[in-house]
Structure 1
Amino acid sequence: MNRLTRDQMAARVARDIPEGAYVNLGIGLPTKVANYLPVDREILLQSENGLLGMGPAPAPGEEDWELINAGKQAVTLLTGGCFFHHADSFAMMRGGHIDICVLGAFQVSTTGDLANWHTGEADAIPAVGGAMDLAIGAKQTFVMMELLTKSGESKLVDACTYPLTGIGCVSRVYTDVAVFETGSGGARLVEAVEGLGIDELRSLVGVPLAA
């Protein structure tokens, strides 16, 4: 089984973002998506710290540290892009003006519940950020994550055991081995990496999975 690299995962997510979409990329792994957006599509990236029209990461040595995303990474600004107060940015998110947000996750349930801000462990540092606002405010929520934990447990689960970020908000999950749709009808396989059959995938995730 050939697992996708993180860059390949980002490129796969980018393929599904349509022309004219307003998109927010969450902190961490989802920020890589900015580097793989098709050049023939106009896609406007928004950052909750107050950017619209965000471009890909700058070349090494060309960073402007007064221009950063919500994860404090240096970014670029496309022609026509703008920056503004973060309160206005959150109004965009909460007001339903973001078409797609791409978030990382600790767990996603088959019905689309999302847990991505805290593991519940006593020594873990919680990090809510704008995730709750995005998960509920965006028209679609995509999750980008590796399918298994370091101990081999599936992050796609029947029910989240970590504190929830949002309920029934995730529509699609992109992992290093497969893409899934989630919702009220449960999880469905969209595609898997070459060499991974549906039965083997079902044994990996341990949850009901429609083909």
Structure 2
Amino acid sequence: MTALPRWSRAEIAQRIANDIPDGAVVNLGIGLPTLVASHLPADREVILHSENGVLGMGPPPPEGEEDFDLINAGKQPVTLLPGGCYFHHADSFAMMRGGHLDVCVLGAFQVSTGGDLANWHTGAPDAIPAVGGAMDLAIGAKQTWVMMEHLTKQGESKLVEACSYPLTGLACVRRVYTDLAVIELVDGKAQVRDIVAGLAFEELQRLSAVPLTR
């Protein structure tokens, strides 16, 4: 069986970074989305926010130069750009809930064509025990984008008609970036904006559990 052409995780992060507008205030969720910080264009000012109370994060520090008193929400060491700051957790959540984030990029287990997001629990015994700040981010940001692999390890589509896992937020996802395609969710429809080179639209449709449009 021929392997599917796929974008690497770095290539997905690069694509997302290129789509973030100049001057945007952005939260990068735990997991895959943190990779976006390393791919932001040098000529563009993007202000990165972390829900544990950091504004103005830079890329990850070089190996050996980590300061574990300065971390993101995933407990990974980060850098602070000139003008950056850190502050109380409650102030950070006020920013999230008050609509002050232009974009948040989150991982997901499932996304529905209606923009519903499930990204915190699968029912597995060792699953994350609580939703954390994902609910506040998904609903509070002006735009919520998802970065995820298109298929589960079992080969099932993560883009679905209706989420079967506990929901994080309703009708909140605007755009989905996977290793196979970039998909815009508009009026309950999944519109393909881009597709990885070498993959036919018909094959992408076969791998997706929802109708796709172009």
Give the shorter-chain TM-score range.
over 0.9
1:70 paired residue number: 73
1:16 alignment partner in structure 2: 19
Give the SS at the match of 1:49: coil
Q: Which amino acid aligns with 2:98?
A: G
Structure 2: runs of 5+ lacking an equivalent: none
Counterpart AA for 1:31: T
Tell me whether 1:191 sits opposite 2:194 in the alignment: yes
- Does residue 43 (structure 1) correspond to residue 50 (structure 2)? The answer is no
* 5+ residue gaps, structure 1: none
**1:123 Cα deviation (Å)?**
4.9
Check if 1:145 corresponds to 2:145.
Answer: no
Report the equivalent of 2:8. 5
Contact 1:107/1:115, CA 8 A, preserved across alignment: yes
Q: Percent identity?
A: 71
Distance in 2 (CA, whole Å) between partners of 1:2 and 1:127 is 35
Aligned-residue CA RMSD (Å): 1.0
Structure-2 residue corresponding to 1:85: 88
Q: Any idea what SS the aligned residue of 2:121 has?
A: coil
Q: Secondary structure at the match of 1:117?
A: coil
Letter in 1 for 2:31: G
Residue 118 of structure 1 aligns with which residue?
121
Give the alignment's TM-score, normalised by structure 2.
0.96
Are the equivalent residues in 1 in contact too, given 2:115–2:188 (CA < 8 A)?
Answer: no
Measured after TM superposition, the shift of residue 8 of structure 1 is: 1.0
- Answer yes or no: is 1:176 the counterpart of 2:179: yes
**Cα deviation digits, residues 14-50 of structure 1 (max 9, x gap):** 0100000000000011001000001101110000000
TM-score normalized by the length of structure 1: 0.97
1:206 CA displacement: 2.6
The question of whether the paired residues in 1 share the 8 Å contact of 2:25 and 2:48 is answered with yes
**SS of residue in 2 equivalent to 1:33:** helix
Q: Distance in 1 between matches of 2:30 and 2:46?
A: 18
Is residue 2:136 matched to residue 1:157?
A: no
CA distance in 2, matches of 1:209, 1:126: 34
Conserved? CA contact 2:116–2:170, under 8 Å: yes
**Segments of 4+ in structure 1 off by > 4 A?**
none
Give the C-alpha shift of residue 74 in structure 1. 0.3
The answer to whether the aligner puts 1:27 opposite 2:42 as a matched pair is: no
Contact 2:25 2:101 in 1 (8 A): yes
Distance 1:160 1:172 in 2: 16
